[in-house]
Amino acid sequence: MSRIRIFSGIALLVAIAGCSLPPQRAFTRQDIFKTNIFSYFTIKESPDAVLAQINRDGEAVMEGVDKKNKTYFIKLISSGKELKAQYTEK
């Protein structure tokens, strides 16, 4: 029973800590533009502000509006050598 608790606790800590680690290498503006989020959405934050947050925290969450006026939460996550984008309708 105690082994299960220890294993569960370690797995939980790894999962939580892994979500907010800074990237291994600094990303550039070209890396952000490869995700095409600024083509698909109107975003209030500048690319430089998003870049600074990704390089500091490993992820950036912003709000964007698409061409059909639907509002989305956009999350950019650093995963090794590339950025991954997740979209969630508000």
pLDDT in tens, 14-72: 555 455 567 778 899 999 999 999 999 999 999 999 999 999 999 999 999 999 999 99
Q: Which residue has the higher pLDDT, 5 or 17?
A: 5
For the chain, the domains span 2-89
Q: What is the pLDDT of residue 67?
A: 92
For the entire predicted model, the pTM comes to 0.70
Instruction: Please check the confidence at residue 12 and state whether its pLDDT lies above 70.
Output: no
Q: How far is CA 37 from CA 8, 42, 50, 53, 64, in A?
A: 36, 8, 11, 16, 9
- Residue 17 has, within 13 A of its CA and on its CB side, a CA count of 6
